[in-house]
Amino acid sequence: MATSNEAPQPVSQNPALNQEQAQRLDSAAGGLTKEQLLWSSGYLAGLATASIVSTNVPVVSGAGEESSQQTLTILYGSQTGNGRELAESLLTRARNSGIDARCVDMADYSTRNLVKERWVALIVSTHGEGDAPDDAELLLEFLHSKRAPKLDSLNYFVLALGDSSYAQFCQTGRDFDQRLSELGANRVSGRVECDIDYEGFAEQWFEDTLRITQEQFKSSSDELSAPRVPLQVVENWPKYSKSHPFMAEVLVNQRITGSQSSKAVHHLELSLEGSLLNYEPGDSLGVITPNPACLVDEIIQLLGVESAAVKVGDESVELRKALTNHVELTLNSGVFLTQYSDLINNADLSRRVQDTGLRTELLNGYQVIDVLRQWPYLPEGDKSAGVQVFVDSLRPLAPRVYSISSSAAVSPDEVHITVAHVSYTAFGSNHLGAASTALVENLQEGELLPVYLDSNPRFRLPENSNTDVIMIGPGTGVAPFRAFVQQRTELGAQGRNWLFFGDRNFDEDFLYQSEWQQYLRREELRMDVAFSRDQKEKLYVQDRLVENADEIYAWIEAGATVYVCGDAGAMAADVHAALRSIVETRGNKTQESAENYLTTLKRNRRYLRDVY
């Protein structure tokens, strides 16, 4: 074979790629060593070969595929990505077990196929106070509508994900389960409900679901074809994850709110050098941090048994270590309330735990420390033995996830996050957020922080860079939009950028103000701001939306994509109401048709929310 010493043609001149794809490939390849480039070429070749040779690579199937008697359809509705990852894992394991399976995001699922399904595994999360994830809203709405068919031939499994610090724990999974049963479907096995430490429960559900499905498929077929082995790319570097995080060096930890601000918000820059981790705008970063030392100290004092050793899983550790690194102290849960009230045998606490309304108040307003203060640890019998019960009642300490506020195209080998320090007074005492305290108060530049990437494919920039984008992100909800604007300006996107930002005071809380001003000067950004405390009447981002109703509606009608990030409570609801009002008044629609208009935008991925 002839060789050449000529320089390779730049990918930007390759007609097989559009301009944005070429620029992204150029950016990704920049700075790689010869060995890394050679490895990358083999990796890409493997992906290309896989798409031609194997039709069984475990990727998410299209929503339009027909189902069959011998197909397991995996439907998932995910707000933060955990449900999607579990669904894709189940798909891989099913296919490697010889089971014909497909995996579909509920948002992409064609409801007309539901009556044809015979075997369905649903994985769905609940966020906030019983809210369905955006992906699941349309399917759940369809099932509760008059158009929902009888499903007498459907067999189904449900894995429900949730957070027991909320009163409506796993409510969306319960809603799906109940409605499918009402429509005549057969619940093959009991619904499994998972808290934030979902891995073990999900693993058992996987095993049971695949075992039952395989047995049923075998019994209805004379011969089960031998399992096909999918073509897989073998990774030759560590795959960093929640259980195996990358130790990222802290490059910058800088406060970006004023000294007189009521909030301490920090901008963190972390090095990913050597990790081979890649992220896209819209993704998040998981961080693993300990509980605040002052909180651990007080809980130990209230328990009165500092020297006790306790079991955490199969490991025996000192109580202080367990409380610092292994269990949740700032997030309450229903399990803790029930088991702690039984442990101390307190009539008042037991009454509150058993009353639905009072239990909700405890979950929403009390941290673990508040429960200990109001209902002291005075168990009957051996006090040390009760400490093990206390530790067992607490949830495992979970990582915290922050929206990434940087573009890898602008800051290669780095990842940036924006962190607001959680600190507030309740019941006469100061309360702290676990991760934010560790990141803002204790983490120094040069130290190492355990991190992992949390992909969010449901919150992505438009594939067509000519598309206009409207970004609504008050407070730290602006973080992903910093990444969006960096990415689009760096890659020369032709679409317009319109950002709505809000906070308390202009002088103290204007996050990334100097950066936005640079984009404004270059006419790369349009920006409207709302500072609620700078005038007599409070002003919020939703008010700015309504003020610009004509142009907002014109942008949307012309094809713009709308993004919302931030608080899932009042902010997200208020912004949605403002958008509905704009569509209703400017589009001459009824409130119902305006709501349907926004629903269609969601279905077409032109109204995307990352709310928490």
**3-state SS string over 242-253?**
CCCCEEEEEEEE
Q: Provide the 3-class DSSP secondary structure of residue 207.
A: helix
Are 206 and 268 contained in the same domain? no
Residue 179 and residue 122 share a domain:
yes
Residue 61 lies in a domain: no
Exposed, middle or buried: residue 179 (CB in 10 Å: 0-12, 13-18, 19+)? middle
Q: Are residues 487 and 435 in the same domain?
A: no
Same domain, 135 and 207: yes
How far the first Cα of the chain sits from its last, in Å, is 57
Q: What is the CATH number of the domain that holds 532?
A: 3.40.50.80
Give the whole-angstrom CA distance, residue 21 versus residue 116: 39
User: What is the pairing mode between strands 119-125 and 155-161?
Assistant: parallel
- 143 part of a folded domain: yes
Type of residue at 577: A
Contact criterion met (CB below 8 Å) for 281 and 488: no
Q: In the prediction, which pLDDT does 46 show?
A: 44
The candidate with the shortest Cα–Cα distance to 433, out of 249, 255, 263, is: 263
Structural domains counted in the chain: 4
Looking at the structure, do residues 389 and 404 belong to the same domain, yes or no? Answer: no
8 A C-beta contact, residue 269 and residue 414: yes
CATH number for the domain that contains residue 318: 1.20.990.10
| Kind plus residue range of the DSSP H or E element containing 363 | helix 356-365
Residue 161 within a domain: yes
Answer whether residue 338 is part of any domain.
yes
- Cα–Cα separations (whole angstroms), residue 40 to 43, 47, 278: 5, 11, 13
What is the SS3 assignment for 586? helix
The verdict on 102 and 180 lying in the same domain is yes
d(C-alpha 381, C-alpha 384), whole Å: 9
Do the domain assignments include residue 463?
no
Whether 143 and 255 map to the same domain: the answer is no
CB 541 within 8 A of CB 513: no
pLDDT for position 28: 56
541 in the same domain as 490: yes
Splitting the chain (612 residues) into consecutive groups of 10 residues, what average pLDDT does each group show? Answer: 40 49 57 50 45 33 51 90 89 92 91 92 86 87 91 95 85 94 94 87 93 84 46 54 94 97 97 95 97 96 89 93 96 92 94 93 93 90 84 94 97 97 93 95 96 93 97 98 98 97 97 97 98 94 98 98 93 96 97 95 94 86
Domain with residue 264: its CATH number is: 2.40.30.10
Domain end marker among 346, 371, 393: 393
Distance CA 251, CA 257 (A): 19
Q: Please provide residue 72's backbone torsions phi and psi, each rounded to the nearest 5 degrees.
A: -95, 115
- The gap from C-alpha 324 to its chain's centroid, in whole angstroms, comes to 25
Sheet architecture: strand order including 448-454: 400-403, 284-287, 448-454, 246-255, 265-271, 414-420
Q: Looking at the structure, do residues 87 and 132 belong to the same domain, yes or no?
A: yes
Residue 60 lies in a domain: no
Q: Show the tokens assigned to 151.
A: 């499903």
Range of the domain at 480: 469-611
Q: In this structure, is residue 485 part of a structural domain?
A: yes
Which letter does DSSP use for residue 596 in this model?
H
Give the three-state DSSP class for 401.
strand
Q: b/e string for 31-59 if b means 16 or more Cβ within 10 A?
A: eeeeeeeeeeeeeeeeeeebeeeeebebe
Q: What does the alpha-carbon distance between residue 430 and residue 99 come to, in Å, rounded to a whole number? A: 54
Same domain for 304 and 384, yes or no, is yes
35 lies in some domain? no
Query: Cβ contacts of residue 59 below 8 Å, gap of 6+?
Result: 88
Q: Which of 200, 219, 238 is the last residue of a domain?
A: 219
Residue 80 maps to which CATH number? 3.40.50.360
Instruction: Return the number of other C-beta atoms located less than 10 Å from residue 521's C-beta.
Output: 9
Six token digits for residue 121: 């595994």
Identify whether residues 87 and 118 lie together within a single domain.
yes
| Displacement of CA 433 from its chain's centroid (Å) | 19
In 47-129, beta strands by DSSP E:
71-77, 100-105, 119-125
Among 385, 285, 367, CA closest to 327: 367
CB pairs under 8 A, 24+ apart, for 580-583? 581/546, 581/549, 582/545, 582/546, 582/549, 582/552, 582/553, 583/553, 583/556
User: pTM for this one?
Assistant: 0.79
Instruction: List, in order, residues 6 or more apart from 204 with CB less than 8 Å away.
Output: 192
Cα separation, 408 vs 282, whole angstroms: 12
| pLDDT for res 20 | 53
Q: Could you tell me where the DSSP H helices lie in 60-125?
A: 82-96
- Which helix (DSSP H) or strand (DSSP E) does residue 530 occupy? strand 526-531
Report the candidate in 85, 89, 84 with the shortest Cα–Cα distance to residue 108: 84
- 477 and 600 part of one domain: yes
